[in-house]
Structure 1
Amino acid sequence: MALTIGDTAPDFEADTTEGRISFHDWIGDSWAVLFSHPKDFTPVCTTELGYMARINPEFERRGVKIIGLSVDPTGAHEDWVRDIEETQGHAPNYPIIGDADFAISKAYGMLGADVSGDPSDRTAADNQTVRNVFVIGPDKKIKLVLVYPMTTGRNFDEVLRVIDSLQLTADHKVSTPVNWVPGEDVIIAGSVSNDQAREIWPDGWEEPKPYIRIVPAPETRVGEGAAAK
């Protein structure tokens, strides 16, 4: 079954390019991004892994760990890492999970339960559904799921933007409007009554409609609050 927002991210043990991990223990008190790939040595994924290495400091500033997954053994990943560094200018500076038995892809609803056999006998097209991004909170709950086709490279700047929103709204009783970026106005959460809102925002708010109550974004710094939990 496909995982949805609010589900607990399945725990697992697996070999990675940085050694064996137990996933929930590896996340610890951090946030995490798990992004998956259908096969090693695929062109779009090569660009994605290189870009994630380049912007990893931005995730680290937000208290977020990143980890890749590909449906091949870790030995193949190690060869792929050299290609990524050569072609993208950045080698992955985060672990990449080996999922040669498809167990993690199945647990995360990216491959059917009937998939089996030698991963080297399968093409990227056979595994094309293994193209997900999962953002996972410190509580091990899934906060975001993105699914991309093989032909479209993922926008990891958008993942950073969503994490900024997730961490802000986890700490404050607000929501973020369309195309929001840090520093822009936010919306008072619908769960907050007007009486409660007056206590939090004594200067009031802009109200184009009774259900749209706009206030300045709370003053926070990246890496504080929910990002550091």
Structure 2
Amino acid sequence: MSLRLNDTAPNFTANTTLGAINFHEWLDGQWAVLFSHPKDFTPVCTTELGYVARIEQEFANRNTKVIGLSVDPIEDHSKWAVDIEETQGARVNYPMIGDTDLAVAKLYDMLPAEETGTCEGRTAATNATVRSVFVIGPDKKIKMTMTYPMGTGRNFDEILRVLDSLQLTAKHKVSTPANWKQGEDIIIVPSVSSDDAKTMFPGGWKTLKPYLRIAAQPD
């Protein structure tokens, strides 16, 4: 069965470039972004890993850990990291999982559960679906998933935007409109009555429709 939003992120143990981890223990009550790659030494993923390395502090500012995954061995990850730093100008300091037996890729439904073998002999094309992003909350629940084609680089600024929205909506009874960015107006969720909204949003709001009430972003 495929993973859905609000499912518990499956736990696993794995070797990474920073040592062995138990995933749920590694989360340690923080938010996390798990993003996967079909193979080491691939061009688009090289730019992605480098960009995440450059903005890793932005994730830390949001109480969010970052972890990558590729089906190749961690020894290859370490060699790839040299190329990434040379070409992208940033060192990869976050862990990269070596999923050589495809276990995590299958656990997260990025490869079929019945897939046989290991990473040996596999190409980026045969691993094309191992190219997803999972945002996981402090409660270990999956809050967002995205899967990209191999030729399209992922937009990690968008992932930061989603994190901002997820963290805001987890704290307040609000939703964020299309293209919302941190600091912009929000939507009061329909389940909040007008009487309750007066207390929660003392600055008032604009009613466009009974179900569409716009207010300033709360702190």
> TM-score, normalising length from structure 1?
0.93
2:120 partner SS: helix
CA–CA distance in 2 between the matches of 1:8 and 1:118?
Answer: 26
Using the TM superposition, give the Cα deviation of residue 194 of structure 1 relative to its aligned residue in structure 2, in angstroms: 1.9
Tell me the percent identity: 63
**Alpha carbons 2:102, 2:118 under 8 Å: kept:** no
The superposition leaves residues 41-79 of structure 1 with CA deviations (integer Å, 9 ceiling, x where unpaired) of: 111000000000000000001100000000111111111
The code of the aligned residue for 1:47 comes to T
TM norm structure 2: 0.98
Shift of 1:144: 0.4
Q: 2:208 aligns to what SS in structure 1?
A: strand
Deviation at 1:203, TM superposition (A): 4.2
**Is the Cα–Cα contact under 8 Å of residues 105 and 111 in structure 2 kept in the other structure?**
yes
Asked whether 1:20 is paired with 2:20, we answer: yes
Quick one: distance in 2 between partners of 1:190 and 1:71? 44
Alpha-carbon distance in 1 for matches of 2:118, 2:200: 58
Q: Matched residues in 1 for 2:120 and 2:168: separation?
A: 43
Q: Distance in 1 between matches of 2:204 and 2:65?
A: 38
1:152-198: per-residue Cα shift (whole Å, max 9, x none)?
00000000001001101111111110100011110101221222212
Report 1:1-229 matches (<5 A).
1-219=1-219
State the Cα distance separating 1:115 from its structure 2 match: 1.5
The runs of at least 4 aligned residues of structure 1 exceeding 4 Å deviation read none
Query: How far did 1:114 drift?
Result: 1.9
**Partners of 2:118 and 2:137 in 1: CA distance:** 33
* Letter of the 1:173 counterpart: K
Question: Structure 1: which amino acid aligns with 2:120?
Answer: S
Tell me the number of residue pairs that the alignment of Structure 1 and Structure 2 aligns: 219
The change in CA–CA distance for 1:202 and 1:90 in structure 2 (over 3 A counts) is closer
Is the 1:185–1:214 contact (alpha carbons within 8 Å) kept by the matching residues of 2? yes
- Displacement, 1:205? 1.4
Distance 1:19 1:191 in 2: 46
Shift in Å, 1:120: 2.5
- Taking only aligned residues, the RMSD between alpha carbons, in angstroms, comes to 0.9
CA distance in 2, matches of 1:115, 1:213: 49
| Contact kept? 1:16, 1:97, Cα under 8 Å | yes
Residues in 1 aligned to 2:96 and 2:203: alpha-carbon distance in whole angstroms:
49
Structure 2: gaps (5+ residues): none
Paired with 1:43 and 1:67, the residues of 2 have a C-alpha distance of 19
Q: Identify unmatched segments of 5+ residues in structure 1.
A: 220-229
More displaced stretch, 192-201 vs 203-212 = 192-201
